[in-house]
Structure 1
């Protein structure tokens, strides 16, 4: 996971913020992150700058709340196995809501199989990480594309799509409706997501020998 290298920097921002939210239940933050993911998915269903900015905003809020719930649980002594379980379940629903919105929306409608492959890669990445723990190999977070990486890329892609000038491709004789920033992002997730799942599967296999 690329962003692991910046974990210490992120903690300097997140810990003070987590203290401000210390009176809020970690599970409330987890559920709130899911609501933000739903709004993001809805935003990506529509064409236009404002829906894209709306989607990008709620992707950011989903990422922020997803990072905060664990921090708040830790500093308040409320960390629990139930909370961890709930977080993993709702994160998967959040992934499907966001990527599903893009797949069904106007920016990837000509390439629905890309969205399907991206969702499969994302779900298998998470499954491989937790399945490793289930079989006694310990939880595995390794791989080229973790959830934090995906959300940062998706946030940037949505902003770029909002300012993207389709005429730049039309001049080259390329249909801009077929090659959008978000479609390329889904292609990236399809490739790197499934690659990450394979990396985690291999890492787990080696630990079990």
Structure 2
């Protein structure tokens, strides 16, 4: 995953936050992340700058809480297989809520949303299936969850500030396709590519 190279920078910010949240249940943070994903999905159903800003904000909160729940669990020695299972299950529901909102909203056709959602879910499935067959948990690939969330946040903010008339005033022909639509196209292509990457890696490990 592209953002793995910057994990140490994120840890410098997340570790102090996790310390402050040490009295909060890690599972509560996991559920809160899901709620934020739900609000993001709802925001993406609507057209307009404020809806997109709110959508980006809730995606950011989902990413933040998803990063903090595991850190708090380790810090407080509450890490468990149940907690890890809950985290993975709710992450998938969060993906469905956020991308489902985009798929049903005004920024991309439903068929493209379904392709993007398929790629995202299969990417995660291939990672856990590798572990299930004894090949170890796979996080490798060109498009991981952190990458997707960053792209989604940036695309939502760009979409919110995108004004075709201002672009035309600069003498540039504006894109006819929404920025969030392009983001979903990236998820559709790179998500499925990452799923295939992980499948091939697991196959080779088992041969």
TM range (shorter): over 0.9
8 Å contact from structure 1 (residues 169, 175) kept in 2: no
Residue of structure 2 in register with 1:87 after alignment: 87
Given the alignment of the two structures, is residue 29 of structure 1 paired with residue 20 of structure 2, yes or no?
no
2:164–2:174 contact (8 Å) kept in structure 1? no
Match of 1:159 in 2: 157
Query: Shift in Å at residue 87 of structure 1?
Result: 0.4
- Matched length: 205
- Cα RMSD (Å) of the superposition? 1.5
Structure 2 alignment gaps of length 5 or more = none
Write the distance in 2 (CA, Å) between the matches of 1:76 and 1:15: 12
TM-score normalised to structure 2 length: 0.95
- State the distance in 2 between where 1:173 and 1:19 align: 49
Runs of 4+ in structure 1 over 4 Å off:
169-175
Alignment deviations for residues 167-191 of structure 1 (CA, whole Å, 9 cap, x no partner):
3479878784xx1000010000000
Match of 2:136 in 1: 138
- Give the structure-1-normalised TM-score: 0.95
Taking structure 1 as reference, are residues 172 and 142 closer, same or farther at Cα in structure 2, changes over 3 Å only?
same
Q: Does 1:196 align with 2:194?
A: yes
Q: Work out whether residues 116 and 189 of structure 2, in 8 Å CA contact, stay in contact via their aligned partners in 1.
A: yes
Structure 1 pair 93–76 and aligned structure 2 pair: CA distance change class (3 A): same
From 115, 120, 130, give the equivalent of 1:117: 115
Mapped partners of 2:91, 2:79: distance in 1: 17
